[in-house]
A and B are shown apart, each in its own frame.
Chain A
Amino acid sequence: MKRQSGLNSFKKWAALLLAAALVFGLAGCGGGKAENTAKSGTGDFNKEGLPIVSEPVTLKVLTMRWGNMGDTFTQNQWLKDLEQQTKVKIEWEVVSSNDWGEQKSIMLASGTLPDIILGNQTFTDSDIVNNLSYFRPLDDYIDQYMPNLKAAMEETPELKKISTFPDGKIYSLPARLPSRPKTRNQPVINKAWLDQLGLEVPDNTEELYNVLKAFKEQDPNGNGKQDEIPYTETGLSPDFLNPFGITDTYGNSMMVKDGKPVFYPTSEEYKEGLKYANKLYSEGLIDKEMFTQDATMTSAKQQNADVPIVGFTNQWTPDAVFGKWSGEYAAIPPIAGPDGNRYNPGDPNGMSFNRNEMLITTSCKYPEIAARWADQFYTNEASIQNFWGAIGTVIQKNDDGTYTLMDPPAGTSADAWYWDQSLRDFGPKYVSPTFEKNIVLNPEAGDGLKLEIDKLGNEYVTTPFPNVMYTSEEFQELPTLTTDIDSYVATMRAQWVTKGGIDESWDEYVKQLNDMGLEKLLKIRTDAYNRYMSVK
């Protein structure tokens, strides 16, 4: 394969050969036919009230769970009661995220879909958009059979915004989770080390630099060794650049500035942030192995056996990642940047909205039954029980109208217990902002702690590039564009942080990105953004 002139003819030649290769194996052409899934009779559908059907009807529901969490959530008392009250029997099909990627493409190809798909990780935007004929548009059903959701959409228009597809129809149902913060990750520091060295909580980037330097040099863990790692992560997280005005809430390298979508890796702020990171790296304040280690090594450093060795990081809450040292760590307000401002990733509307929480397939024979069944999830009490666990098992309903969470059984963490007892992050839900005030959480751990530390940063939360939706044409272009561009951005970022030289190669970098099709990517994202904003 020679360069230049050879390459073009090589491409043609290769294409020809491929065509020739096709002469083989043109045997039969297949493709699955949809099969019926719903069982039993018509069921005498009731348009209002319970039960939904007079005669029991069975619906198949597919949902994905993380790792080996299993299907214990189906024992949730609320779900059991629902089955009794509605006479809609649910046959759960629970798949694991480990296997789902492969199984999904087979399920789509074979056309054997269940009646209902539940959970926003089961089918993603592109799965739905590329196979629209498998799913029912739900606008009419919402109108006729889903009074709870309809009311919720009127109260919180965001719900409709996120679930409207590019063709203007709603194919998937949204969720608003209860008691969610506005901030995403927040700066977390080893408070015990600060006290040990008699230092103040760092307020700006200059002070942060001094604190990290002190962590490195003054042996705050007191074991006589210079084994402290002031800052570590698996790869440089964009969170580290927050003080410079870079926030990346949904991990897409996009921000919104003055109402316009911006690709931040080509911005001046980004450049300044990386210069700062390079300065810290070259002085050993950032883990030397940051770009090569895997999650296991990062986690082992955070939970080092004899003494804590990590000083500073950005986390959802300080208690999750540090194991037995979590008591030493505390969240702090956002670090001010060189411009004196503070920025925190998150969403001013709250990190509480998801779409694709429920889909009704065209294989479903009783879409109106499915819709009425789904609507039962959109009440306040149903939603909290599907987020934490049933009232009486996990949630305690108090006489004064408030709700508190019970303690998990000994040896189980609260979060793991909720995952065991409920649909948790997945499935349709709506908790109204007014009802939320009645939920009282323990401010010392998990969801309650997050809400507590949220107060440190929520006034600095920036408007993120929203979770927009793309058309199937756009989905054809996006993967190659983002794979090339993201990987190049990550490579250069790693190089600039570890070796410096950003000023010299910056222009070349921007040019390279444009050659890779950055403008096209921006156009696709801007179009999608405009569509998103225009939904009323």
Chain B
Amino acid sequence: MKAGYIGAGRRYGTFRRNWGLYVLLLPAVVLTLLFAYKPMYGVLIAFKDYSPALGIGGSPWAGLKYFEKFFNSYQFSTTIKNTVIISLYSLITFPIPILLALMVNQMRANRFRRFFQTVSYMPHFISTVVMVGLMLILLSPSTGLVGNAYKLFGAEAPDLMGSPGLFSSIYVWSDVWQHVGWDSIIYIAALSTVDPSLYEAATVDGAGRWHKIRYIDIPMLIPTAVTLLILRVGGLLGVGFEKVYLMQNDLNITSSEILSTYVYKIGLLSSQYSFSSAISLFNTVINFILLILVNQISKKFSENSLW
């Protein structure tokens, strides 16, 4: 108790000394309050029988009806399972941009290095619709690259897009292809802040390339990597709908129906405001809990924490 009291006093001291920091925070705090917290009463929609004509305040309460409806729905376990599988699978690819950044950092030919970086980030700009269209063309068993490759050996090409077992692989690896360069940018930037004298000292000590990567580069990347990883886990159930939706077909649907596509389809038939808010609120709460857990773990083992 006593220690706490003293602590509070000291905190007030730092508060006064650091007033400048609060000035720096002010714009972000105010904008967040006005445009993120003020509309937040909208979560109530999940607990009401919302009708636009009655407004959020005027719509009758529904309690947990929509949550129960979701938990009891036929697709509940399938969509959750598919979402988690895709999410965990893509989590495995998390280190790839880091490896790419380390590799780029080792390139000494400046021109090549810059060219490489520029090319590697370009696929990020391809829109999802075109990306999926491209995949359909390339993977077509009759006319695509894959189909042609099999034809060379006189074999029948497999129907990759129509195979439920391959769906998550195609989804995840095409994502890696499209975003690995873009995702590595932050790591390359982090590596640029390594004090060059560290490398010089290491060279003098006779350290080789791998040693420098291991003892200088990687420790530099760990805080950023851990932060991004925590955020990634916090998005576990949030697999975006657009790409999955476009890749879906009647043959792969058993493993491609995820939370977000399911909500979308139901909304297409008739606006189900309350039902879809309930699902997304469920989604959010699970994600937030995961974030808290992972952050706790990280705090314990790596001293990195989001708060």
- Determine if B51 is an interface residue (Cβ-Cβ < 8 Å): yes
- Determine if A32 is an interface residue (Cβ-Cβ < 8 Å): yes
The answer to whether A105 touches B271, judged by C-beta atoms less than 8 angstroms apart, is yes
Q: What are 25 A-B interface contacts by the 8 Å CB criterion?
A: A1-B80, A7-B77, A11-B71, A15-B64, A15-B68, A18-B64, A18-B285, A19-B64, A24-B40, A32-B55, A109-B52, A126-B270, A127-B271, A131-B51, A289-B159, A291-B251, A292-B159, A297-B140, A476-B272, A479-B267, A479-B270, A487-B253, A494-B250, A494-B251, A495-B251
B residues 210-261 with Cβ under 8 Å of A? 246, 249-254, 257
Interface residues on B, range: 35 or more
Question: Closest A-chain residue to B77, C-beta based?
Answer: A7
- Determine if B69 is an interface residue (Cβ-Cβ < 8 Å): yes
A-side interface residues toward B, CB under 8 Å?
A: 1, 7, 11, 14-15, 17-19, 21-22, 24-32, 104-105, 108-109, 111, 124, 126-127, 130-134, 235, 288-289, 291-294, 296-297, 475-476, 478-480, 482-484, 487, 490-491, 493-495, 498, 515-517
The answer to whether B67 touches A294, judged by C-beta atoms less than 8 angstroms apart, is no
The answer to whether A18 touches B71, judged by C-beta atoms less than 8 angstroms apart, is no
B6 to chain A, nearest CB (A): 32
Classify the secondary structure of B's interface with A: helix
Q: A18-B67, A26-B41 are in contact. Are A490 and B136 (CB under 8 A)?
A: no
B62 to chain A, nearest CB (A): 10
- Determine if B73 is an interface residue (Cβ-Cβ < 8 Å): yes
A361 to chain B, nearest CB (A): 11
Interface hub of A31, A32, A490 (most chain B Cβ within 10 A): A31
- Determine if B133 is an interface residue (Cβ-Cβ < 8 Å): yes
A479 to B75, CA, bound (A): 13
A235 to B257, CA, bound (A): 17
| Complex contacts, B141 vs chain A, CB 8 Å | 288-289
The answer to whether B271 touches A491, judged by C-beta atoms less than 8 angstroms apart, is no
- Determine if B137 is an interface residue (Cβ-Cβ < 8 Å): yes
A228 to chain B, nearest CB (A): 12
Question: Closest B-chain residue to A487, C-beta based?
Answer: B253
| Complex contacts, B252 vs chain A, CB 8 Å | 292
Interface string of B35-56 (1 = CB under 8 A from A): 0011011011011000111111
Our pick among B257, B275, B286, B288 for the contact of A14 (Cβ within 8 Å) is B286
- Determine if B162 is an interface residue (Cβ-Cβ < 8 Å): yes
B-side interface residues toward A, CB under 8 Å?
A: 37-38, 40-41, 43-44, 46-47, 51-58, 64, 67-69, 71, 73-75, 77, 80, 132-133, 136-137, 140-142, 159, 161-162, 246, 249-254, 257, 262, 265-267, 269-273, 275, 281-282, 284-286, 288-289
Q: A31-B57, A491-B254 are in contact. Are A292 and B249 (CB under 8 A)?
A: yes
What is the number of contacts between chain A and chain B, taking CB atoms within 8 Å?
160
B284 to chain A, nearest CB (A): 8
A317 to chain B, nearest CB (A): 27
Q: A14-B67, A478-B270, A484-B73 are in contact. Are A294 and B37 (CB under 8 A)?
A: no
Question: Closest B-chain residue to A489, C-beta based?
Answer: B250
B231 to chain A, nearest CB (A): 19
| Complex contacts, A293 vs chain B, CB 8 Å | 136, 140
Question: Closest A-chain residue to B53, C-beta based?
Answer: A131
The answer to whether A28 touches B38, judged by C-beta atoms less than 8 angstroms apart, is yes
Question: Closest B-chain residue to A135, C-beta based?
Answer: B53
Q: A126-B270, A479-B266 are in contact. Are A29 and B285 (CB under 8 A)?
A: no
The answer to whether A490 touches B41, judged by C-beta atoms less than 8 angstroms apart, is no
| Complex contacts, A32 vs chain B, CB 8 Å | 55
Question: Closest B-chain residue to A124, C-beta based?
Answer: B270
The answer to whether A29 touches B56, judged by C-beta atoms less than 8 angstroms apart, is yes
Q: A22-B47, A487-B253 are in contact. Are A291 and B52 (CB under 8 A)?
A: no
The answer to whether B67 touches A27, judged by C-beta atoms less than 8 angstroms apart, is no
Question: Closest A-chain residue to B263, C-beta based?
Answer: A483
| Complex contacts, A495 vs chain B, CB 8 Å | 251
Interface hub of A132, A476, A495 (most chain B Cβ within 10 A): A476
Our pick among A14, A130, A484, A493 for the contact of B75 (Cβ within 8 Å) is A484
| Complex contacts, A493 vs chain B, CB 8 Å | 250
A235 to B249, CA, bound (A): 8
Interface hub of B51, B74, B262 (most chain A Cβ within 10 A): B74
Question: Closest A-chain residue to B271, C-beta based?
Answer: A105
The answer to whether A484 touches B67, judged by C-beta atoms less than 8 angstroms apart, is no
B216 to chain A, nearest CB (A): 42
A357 to chain B, nearest CB (A): 20
User: Given known contacts A130-B52, A483-B265, A483-B266, what 6 new A-B pairs fall within 8 Å (CB)?
Assistant: A14-B67, A14-B282, A22-B47, A27-B41, A130-B53, A476-B272
| Complex contacts, B68 vs chain A, CB 8 Å | 11, 15
The answer to whether B52 touches A294, judged by C-beta atoms less than 8 angstroms apart, is no
B156 to chain A, nearest CB (A): 9
The answer to whether B137 touches A297, judged by C-beta atoms less than 8 angstroms apart, is yes
Interface hub of A17, A297, A480 (most chain B Cβ within 10 A): A480
B107 to chain A, nearest CB (A): 39
| Complex contacts, B142 vs chain A, CB 8 Å | 288-289
The answer to whether A491 touches B253, judged by C-beta atoms less than 8 angstroms apart, is yes
Our pick among B53, B133, B272 for the contact of A108 (Cβ within 8 Å) is B53
A27 to B80, CA, bound (A): 32
Question: Closest B-chain residue to A108, C-beta based?
Answer: B52
The answer to whether B41 touches A498, judged by C-beta atoms less than 8 angstroms apart, is no
Q: A475-B270, A491-B253 are in contact. Are A15 and B43 (CB under 8 A)?
A: no
| Complex contacts, B69 vs chain A, CB 8 Å | 480
| Complex contacts, A484 vs chain B, CB 8 Å | 73-75
A517 to B74, CA, bound (A): 9
A29 to B54, CA, bound (A): 12
Question: Closest A-chain residue to B264, C-beta based?
Answer: A483
The answer to whether A482 touches B257, judged by C-beta atoms less than 8 angstroms apart, is no
| Complex contacts, B269 vs chain A, CB 8 Å | 126, 478-479, 482-483
Question: Closest B-chain residue to A24, C-beta based?
Answer: B40
A111 to B55, CA, bound (A): 9
The answer to whether A483 touches B262, judged by C-beta atoms less than 8 angstroms apart, is yes
| Complex contacts, B52 vs chain A, CB 8 Å | 105, 108-109, 111, 130-131
Q: A289-B159, A292-B161 are in contact. Are A30 and B57 (CB under 8 A)?
A: yes
Question: Closest A-chain residue to B278, C-beta based?
Answer: A18
The answer to whether B40 touches A25, judged by C-beta atoms less than 8 angstroms apart, is yes
Closest 9 CB pairs of A and B: A31-B55, A25-B40, A494-B250, A108-B52, A126-B270, A29-B57, A131-B53, A292-B161, A479-B269
| Complex contacts, B74 vs chain A, CB 8 Å | 484, 515-517
The answer to whether B58 touches A31, judged by C-beta atoms less than 8 angstroms apart, is yes
| Complex contacts, A26 vs chain B, CB 8 Å | 41, 44
A480 to B133, CA, bound (A): 29
B158 to chain A, nearest CB (A): 11
Our pick among B250, B266, B285 for the contact of A480 (Cβ within 8 Å) is B266
